[in-house]
Chain A
């Protein structure tokens, strides 16, 4: 069955639906004396007209947004094997927990005495994340993985500066997520790239040659972005430590090893966890997530403040932290996402988490076993973990790119995997099934992928013309960038 059904009619914007005088909202009757703004705000420049928002009735609002939702694919509707994104099922119990009035209606500046439930939850969660990572203390302020990276690098910088040992460079693998070098640059570091070897792992000899007294740290994802475990992690760690540098663990792929291996035991001093990926908060079309950082004892003094403290039986925010790098968030972080992570961890428990990772790895290996006859693994030397990367380079012979293959998958009823990442694999296709998908779904996906690869040889135009079952066909990205229409205009419909 196609992913999107027959093409839908164009849905005009809310602005095009707007009719002067229509409205959905109602406010409580004003039962205090009315105030004339001009009189009450002397010398203040007031708006000369209401803001040009769309004017819709309530049903218009509901129908418009419902129609938009019907033009959008989510996990609830079907498989979403986006590599590096851990698109697993998001149990509704976590949403129900976050929606409890005690969490939903708590003001961020309520006194600590009124926030004991949330503070206690964060206290427990900090201990659980420490156990999961093999580290000791956490900050919950980072609102997403990338902000967690920036925070972690700031901690590394603060550690070195505190020792009077300012360092200039951060090393990242050439296979790293783009956020890694971008975060390092935002933290004022020069980025040094370490190449991957022919097996997709960090070239440790090359790394040894790159590490020097200016190296502040190494950022590593393990398993790495080709889905393979960096088995020489002990040697990598000792090279960095010998030079006085620290190791940063990018938690993007933590779903592979949760309950099986711990960054702290591998020599990492700081980790960010994408709790929305691993511990299942709905991804919401691109967020919110949360990216708490977990650190070793030696980085704990620098954590963003305030942090949760416990005095006897009373929790409080402790802001008295002279070595802290400071705040990263205007309130306390994406606490609602952390509540969901807590609910998820409580549901699975320790044993369930170790099962979760095993089934995520099983699912990836199971799909890989079925499709690598059509498309070879980018790096066949090592067992994939929770995701695998294949190369579609062979399709070029038919004049077909991996993009075309992905668009054909849509017509065959599947959201495509991540493509063109990691950059070190030619025509990369990165598949992450996650543990929540059934064997039948995986079989059907593998069959569709194999079918599309076969069609590349027999009917390449079918792939190049895809998708044909979606509300729109392929979109002109060059026109979008050239014309740059980034908001609705009255003359533009």
Chain B
């Protein structure tokens, strides 16, 4: 099928207007060695019905009927029904970067409101309009801190999730950044220590961290600042319903993965990353920022602002190369937070906490199953199991229970992460416990 509306008569008339004999002749000026002189070796076009059936066949080969206790940065929170209805509106869905603000006030104001809720959620005054994901948001924050301190050494808590640590290294390598891991202790917390030798640009910790454990952000902020470094916190946004915000505890840059905010699982993408900073760092922020202003008639309106930081103006001296971000996903995040409201977010975090405690109590009653670390946790915890953890995860998945990922390194290496959202019921915990008991007898 095709989505071009041209009739044969249209094509004939248009070719005549252009002065070209046929469609192929539009490419006659391409040098012969560059031209493809055969049809593409791709399947033939199909009807809409056939396309959907082919995609449904692929989708059916994924196993998604499982009960999701998996975590590692992506959680099975409920997505309210109004959310897909609103982001599916063509006016949002089929618009682009608001280069013409007079006909883009809707998305501009939505981004302004998004920046406000991210500011509240992080405890810092300024947010950009979104980044690709939590991992690249950390990498961008590291660049900001390196620019602010004119230093190039970066310390990562080993309890910062492993994919994010890898992304920071990928971004840092061409720029000669020295990236080191700080091992976490037996309680799952990263011992607070920053060498005060004038080399450290930034320390990155995660809150709660990749083992689910709450870090002492205030102590980290003090230690980083005493060493002249910045503290970057990768912040699980639903924790804001319970914990003091990292910004209120002294973090310089607060970033995070937006998946828990109305994104659904979607194999981890698209989601969005958020990034907030203090007023003093506004001009180092990557990507779009929307600001409020007035129009020629004195009415309030919104525009993209501080554009001189951006790649299309500043080119190789830009703060980042980011152009297209994840606006529709950020809009979903805004809708989810607006739907939750202050009390909804607080209840969500408290319910997750209560359900996680209940699940941890139940699962650790199984022989040989124990918490891998003993620090305080919110909605996710690391379980030590007496068997090959990857085999356990696979076997549980086969029985309809999804857990994981497996902790890759440090004292808790080999532990299996278990997360409980507000959706996980006691009956499901009981079911998981039974299945785990059974699986351990089989693979153990």
Contact = CB atoms under 8 A, between A and B. Distances in A.
Partners in one complex: yes
Contacts of A47: 240-245, 346
Given A109-B404, A144-B132, A71 B106 contact: yes
Contacts of B318: 178, 182, 185
Given A117-B59, A472-B301, 12 more contacts: A51-B345, A55-B342, A61-B82, A100-B59, A107-B268, A287-B130, A330-B167, A332-B269, A345-B42, A352-B1, A358-B24, A418-B99
Interface string A97-127: 1111111111111110111111011000000
Interface in B373-423: 376, 378, 390, 393-394, 397-398, 402, 404-405, 422-423
Interface in A40-94: 40-48, 50-56, 58, 61-62, 64-77, 80, 82, 85, 87-91, 93
A451 interface: no
A108 B265 contact: yes
A267 to B, nearest CB: 9
A363 B104 CA distance: 26
A47 B90 CA distance: 38
B432 interface: no
Q: Which size bracket describes the interface of A in this complex? A: 35 or more
Contacts of A335: 266-270
A30 B293 contact: no
B297 interface: yes
Contact of B218 (A25, A45, A71, A345): A45
A241 interface: no
B401 to A, nearest CB: 11
Contacts of A144: 132, 322-325
Interface in B266-311: 266-272, 282, 288-297, 299-303, 305-306, 310-311
A117 B58 contact: yes
Contact of B102 (A27, A289, A407): A407
A492 B91 contact: no
Contacts of B21: none
18 contacts: A35-B350, A56-B341, A61-B82, A97-B52, A103-B55, A103-B58, A110-B62, A111-B404, A114-B66, A121-B58, A181-B311, A260-B36, A337-B270, A363-B14, A383-B26, A438-B6, A472-B101, A475-B303
Contact of B329 (A115, A288, A350): A288
Interface string A405-429: 0110010000110100100000000
A287 B257 CA distance: 16
A143 interface: yes
A268 to B, nearest CB: 11
Given A117-B60, A480-B291, A53 B340 contact: yes
Given A104-B265, A475-B101, A481-B291, A329 B64 contact: no
A121 B184 CA distance: 38
Smallest CB-CB A-B distances: 6 pairs: A331-B268, A102-B59, A108-B268, A284-B328, A76-B90, A72-B106
A286 B422 contact: no
Interface string B58-89: 11111110101010111010001010111111
A421 B99 CA distance: 12
B113 interface: yes
B421 to A, nearest CB: 10
Interface residues of B, number: 208
Contact of A186 (B18, B94, B312, B321): B321
Contacts of B346: 47, 50-51
Contacts of B119: 487
A187 to B, nearest CB: 5
A98 B300 CA distance: 37
A438 B305 CA distance: 35
Contact of B310 (A154, A178, A361, A470): A178
Contacts of B54: 346
Given A71-B105, A132-B40, A285-B95, A333 B269 contact: yes
A103 B265 CA distance: 9
B2 interface: yes
A45 B244 contact: yes
Contacts of B353: 35, 37, 40
A300 interface: no
A333 B237 CA distance: 21
Contacts of B73: 108, 330-331
A14 interface: yes
B125 A104 contact: no
Interface string A284-324: 11111110000000000000100000000000000000000
Contact of A107 (B74, B113, B347): B74
Contact of B269 (A143, A346, A435): A143
A181 B270 contact: no
Contacts of B296: 473-474, 476
Nearest to B138: A330
Given A93-B51, A284-B93, A487 B115 contact: yes
A155 B322 CA distance: 18
Contacts of B426: 31-32
A330 B293 CA distance: 36
A283 B266 contact: no
A234 B30 CA distance: 11
Contacts of B84: 99
Contact of B324 (A276, A358, A370): A276
Give the interface centre of A80, A128, A182, A470 by most chain B CB atoms within 10 Å.
A182
A91 B45 CA distance: 14
A288 to B, nearest CB: 4
A333 B310 CA distance: 23
Contact of A362 (B18, B94, B269): B18
B315 interface: yes
Nearest to A386: B26
B249 interface: yes
B264 interface: yes
Interface in B320-348: 320-329, 331, 335, 337-348
A473 B93 contact: no
B60 A331 contact: no
Contact of B86 (A69, A116, A287): A69
Nearest to B60: A102
B327 A285 contact: yes
Nearest to B104: A72
A25 B340 contact: yes
Give the interface centre of B57, B301, B320 by most chain A CB atoms within 10 Å.
B301
A1 interface: no
B169 A351 contact: no
A54 B305 contact: no
Contact of A329 (B89, B167, B299): B167
Contacts of A108: 72-74, 265, 267-269
A115 B267 contact: yes
Contact of B100 (A146, A261, A415, A487): A415
Interface in A250-270: 257, 259-262, 265-266
Interface stretch (B158-166, B196-204, B225-233, B364-372): B158-166
Contact of A336 (B5, B270, B325): B270
A480 B338 CA distance: 25
B166 A326 contact: yes
Contacts of A179: 311-312, 321, 323
Contact of A349 (B44, B120, B269, B272): B44
B354 interface: yes
Contacts of A44: 214, 243, 376
Contact of A185 (B41, B103, B241, B316): B316
